[in-house]
A = this chain, B = another copy of it.
Amino acid sequence: MADTTQNECVLGIDVGGTSIKAGLFTTDGKLVDVTKIPTGALVGEEAFSRVTEGLHGLVENCGREDGDVVAVGLDVPGPVDDQGRVGMLPNIQLDPEGLMAALAAKFPDSALAFVNDANAAALGELWQGSGKGFGSFVMVTLGTGVGGGVIVNGRLVSGAFGAGGEIGHITVEPNETLSCGCGRKGCLEQYASAKGLVRMYREQCAHLGLEAAKIEHATDTISVFEAYKAQDPAAVRAVGDMCDKLGLALAQISCVIDPAAYLIGGGVAGAFDLFGESLSTAFRSHCLATSAGAKILPCSLGNKAGMYGVAYAALQQRRVRA
């Protein structure tokens, strides 16, 4: 008899505002193929059909049948609690229950799971990336904002209210006068996001009376890091401040869960080679001596981490059900 499990596969889906990106994985974590499906707002049967048809196409292209899909994971840009319930999603239009029902109808035998996008990235790195082999680590996503994902005792910490890993909102400057997007003041995100770094660079230019390098847009950290490489004094100070605030925040995390490692990802982490050492130095200057051995490493799955992570989460869900 043929082995009916050899074609078993998992779908990992990044949910965006107007499209989704889906990857098909083997159950042992190899990415077979990826597709992007334009969807429009993820509300109503028409959009859900576009999703399921697009996924069907991916499955077929990979030489599988819909029945081979044993698990489907989705990541969403917002809070998901310990029970998998999706909270408020300010940036996209999505009816999570409706989408879940459409997927359950298309792949009736598969486990389904929603995961917050930053948490998903952490799970991805745990499964097949830089987090492999660490019992505990915190993934730090430096992008437009600052997100995170916490792994403790080999498991994701979503939090009782879904705010586990919201490390962008650790207070690193209680005396800040500017407000963060969350309405509070002095959050890490104000200094270590792409937007924060560009703002601090411009402030340093003004402060030092220097002409700023050409900055294309409010999150153009590439130009800031170019200036940093050229030893532009304002860029040196801005990147130094970013590392100091981020190091301080990581030191706070170590006082709570004392992880074995921090994995740095997101767009800003493209420049990890340039700032990784300053960040490690800043962390060690702020942390308890006990925790100074924590490793600070770049992530390795890039923007596919979330896709890996939701595939892994859905697979875990299936094992719990089995």
A residues neighboring B (CB under 8 Å): 79, 82, 87, 135-136, 138, 150, 152-153, 155, 157-175, 182-184, 248, 251-261, 286, 288-291, 293-294
A183 to B261, alpha carbons, bound, how many Å?
A: 23
A259 lies within 8 A of B290 (CB): no
Contacts of A288 in B (CB 8 A): 163, 166, 169, 182, 184
Chain B residues in 8 Å Cβ range of A182: 288-289
Q: Which residues of chain B are within 8 angstroms of A261 by Cβ–Cβ distance? A: 160
Given A169-B288, A248-B174; A135-B82 close (CB under 8 Å): yes
Pairwise interchain contact B164-A293, C-beta atoms closer than 8 A: no
**A166-B290 contact given A136-B160, A171-B248, CB 8 Å threshold:** yes
Would A164 and B251 be within 8 Å (CB), given that A82-B135, A169-B288 are in contact? no
**Contacts beyond the supplied A79-B290, A166-B258, A174-B248: 19 A-B pairs with Cβ under 8 Å:** A82-B135, A150-B256, A150-B257, A153-B155, A158-B258, A159-B259, A159-B291, A161-B291, A161-B293, A162-B290, A163-B290, A166-B255, A166-B256, A166-B290, A167-B256, A170-B256, A171-B248, A171-B251, A252-B252
Chain B residues, CB < 8 A from A153: 152-153, 155, 157
* Contact call B82/A160, Cβ cutoff below 8 A: no
Q: Which of B82, B155, B257, B286 is A184 in contact with, Cβ under 8 Å?
A: B286
A275 to chain B minimum Cβ distance, whole angstroms, is 20
Partner of A165, one of B170, B175, B184, B256: B256
- Compute how far the CA of A12 lies from the CA of B19 in the bound complex, rounded to whole angstroms: 57
Residues of B within 8 A of A255 (CB): 163, 166-170
